[in-house]
Structure 1
Amino acid sequence: LRIHPLECGDGPDGGKGGVPVEFWDVGGTRAYAGARNVFFDGLDGVLLAYDVSNLKSYRKLSQWLMEVCQRAAPPSRAFWHGEANRDKVAPDEQPGPAAAESDDGPDVENPTTAECLLSGRCPILIVANKVDLLTSHSHTRPPPQLPPP
């Protein structure tokens, strides 16, 4: 597990202090498979990275997103109710991942994490990486070869 802190943008009050962002790199390590949902609690966005020279890595993107949809707890109150209402909503009023759906469709007032992720209200960034172009890794794996015409 690696945590990557990053300061970006203006502060919450418009100042130049920046906004702290933490990237939790839980990867595909089997050691964390049973506990990964702990890292999903309170997420405010999703960043998925894959190796473009590895088709299996690309195909796993949908599995990772499905895991987040199924196992993540709701994000912060600001995410669900808007920044202006951040302090007005009590933590116990926060919608849960098991929010009920009626026959009329999803409950708009109490969305599940999956509905939130797939509705476009949760930022999802997919990053393509080409590991074999890195000089530190170039000796470990030969570049992919195209078949002859």
Structure 2
Amino acid sequence: MPTHREYTQQLLEHYHHPRNVGELPGADAVVTVGSPTHGDVMQLSLRITEGRVADARFKTFGCAVAIAAGSAVTELIRGMSLEEMERLSNSRVVQALGGVPENKMGCSVLAEQAIREALAVYRAKRTGGLVEVQSQEPIQGTAAGSAAGIPLQR
């Protein structure tokens, strides 16, 4: 288990002061990835305007890395086109955090998974198609650490 000394200043800043936490009224896509049974869960909400991310919010129940990744990814994708978002990888999220301990890399991957699913949901809604989303277990806990204190519910 990593100690705070193993985390970068950027990661700790996003963990202690997460950005864009909470619900996004009128979101064009809302997805939940992860599993409470296996650890971390992230909800990502997007508002898309003229093919670009106008706003993004997240809620995470999980470790410091998962919370920091949710915060960082919402900052990274703001203003991005859908095509730019498609190309965003976990390595870019990790870079924005200044690095992630190897044994916590899986926690940061939630952000990339959330982006992929949100894009699929958004595109399916726009084309009237169906999208298959894995069923999630009920989410309980608080979002983005104790500082935010926003309950995660579905």
Q: TM-score, structure 1 length as denominator? A: 0.26
Structure richer in helix, relative to its length: 2
Q: TM-score, structure 2 length as denominator? A: 0.26
Higher RCO (Cα < 8 Å, 6 or more apart): 2
| Structure possessing the higher radius of gyration over alpha carbons | 1
